[in-house]
Amino acid sequence: MSAPGPARDDVRSARPVATDGTVNLTVAWLALRGLFGRRRGILLVVLPLVLLGLAVLVRVLVDGSDVADDILYQLGLVVVVPLVALIATTGVLSSEIDDGSVVYLLAKPMSRFTIVTSKLVVATGCVLVSGAVPLLVAGLVLAPGTPRLGLGFAVGGLAGGLAYCALFAVASVVTRHAVVVGLVYVLIWEGLLGGLLDGIRWLSVTRWSAAITDEVTGGPALVEDLSSTYAIAATTVVLIAGTWLASSKLRGYSYTADE
């Protein structure tokens, strides 16, 4: 039972802890809890395990260094990283917006940009743990003589993951079917069309991460004719623009319109 006078002053006049700034820990903690409190966490564990399992299997059967490139690219960069980014980002953003519980985050004196970046930090953390690090380990398993290979893929995977997370964040705020939209993008734009049409590489996150990987590994090129400077610049642009766009759309969020 709060006594009106003194308690009120006590709570309100006490110096409020800054909630603004780039990352808000509580938002991040809530996002993390939400992700692993539900079953999405299982997928985020299964994907890296499959990657590592395959790496181990290949290593046991053959000398893996010839095929390491292929496996790390086809399974790692093309499949695991985008899927981890999709599952993590939609897990922290889309499900809350869908069922309306995001209103508890929005009804606070905290900038929308902070909210989005805090959640993205969690999502990219997942990409790091479930995507980049397993890529590194798989690279080391497959080709222990060339550690730069694993490192290159890890870096490329992380960069790609950052861009993917930003894109999926925008999708989560804009549409209710963010997962399906992200899926279509990953499988059809990046996967199918990217494989068929060469020109897509300028607009394909997977190709950019491949270019960055090439730069670090210095090995045979995964993707032709795409400078790593362009790739880094493009990734940064997508990351910043996506985060800004998602925050801007979140400011205009109306909760009755969803009913």
Partner 1 sequence: MSSPSDPRPSGVIHDIGYRPYTGERLGEGAVAWSLFRTGVRNCFGLGRSARSKVLPMSLLGAMLLPAVVLVAVLVQAGEVLGLTGQIVPYSRYALITQVVISVFVAAQAPALISRDLRFRTITLYLARPLRRSTYVLVRLASLLVAVFALVAAPLLVLYVGGLLAELPPARETELFLAALVGALLLAAVLSGLAALIAAVTTRRGLAVAGITVVLVVSYTVVTAVQGLGTEEGMPRLAEFAGLFSPYTLVDGVQVWLFDVAASTPAPPTGRTGVLFLLTALAVVAGCVVALLARYRKATVL
Partner 2 sequence: MSTLELDHVSRWYGNVVAVNDVSMTVGPGVTGLLGPNGAGKSTLIALMAGFLAPSVGSVTLDGGQLWRNEQIYRDIGLVPEPEALFDHLTGRQFVLANARLHGLASPGQAAERALAVVEMTDAAARTIATYSKGMRQRVKMASALVHDPSVLLLDEPFNGMDPRQRLHLMDLLRRMGSEGRTVLFSSHILEEVEQVARQIEVVVAGRHAASGDFGAIRRLMTDRPNRYVVRSADDRTLAQALLGDVSVRAVSLRPAGGVEVEATDFGRFSAALPRIARDLDVRLFEVSPTDESLESVFSYLVAS
Residues in contact with partner 2 by CB under 8 A are 1-2, 4, 7-8, 11-12, 14-19, 24-27, 29-30, 33-34, 37-38, 99-101, 103-112, 251-257, 259
Measured from the CB atom, the residue of 172 and 204 that comes closer to partner 2 is 172
What residue 12 binds from partner 1, partner 2, none (CB within 5 to 8 A, per partner kind)? partner 2
How does DSSP classify residue 176? Answer: T
Q: Check if the beta carbon of residue 190 is closer than 8 Å to that of residue 206.
A: yes
Q: Check if the beta carbon of residue 160 is closer than 8 Å to that of residue 82.
A: yes
Measured from the CB atom, the residue of 25 and 62 that comes closer to partner 2 is 25
The set of residues, in sequence order, having a beta carbon less than 8 Å from that of 154 and lying 6+ positions away, is 132, 133, 135, 136, 139
Q: Shortest Cβ distance from residue 183 to partner 1 (Å)?
A: 6
The set of residues, in sequence order, having a beta carbon less than 8 Å from that of 152 and lying 6+ positions away, is 139, 212, 213, 214, 215, 216, 217, 218, 219
Measured from the CB atom, the residue of 74 and 236 that comes closer to partner 1 is 74
Measured from the CB atom, the residue of 4 and 199 that comes closer to partner 2 is 4
Measured from the CB atom, the residue of 33 and 177 that comes closer to partner 2 is 33
Q: Shortest Cβ distance from residue 191 to partner 2 (Å)?
A: 33
By the 10 Å C-beta count (0-12 exposed, 13-18 middle, 19+ buried), 214 is classed as buried
d(CA 224, CA 89): 30
d(CA 59, CA 56): 5
What residue 144 binds from partner 1, partner 2, none (CB within 5 to 8 A, per partner kind)? none
- Binding-site ranges for partner 1 (CB under 8 A): 38-40, 43, 46-47, 50, 54, 57-58, 61-62, 67, 70-71, 74-75, 78-80, 83, 86-87, 90-91, 94-95, 98, 178-180, 183-184, 187-188, 191-192
d(CA 116, CA 185): 21
What residue 33 binds from partner 2, partner 1, none (CB within 5 to 8 A, per partner kind)? partner 2
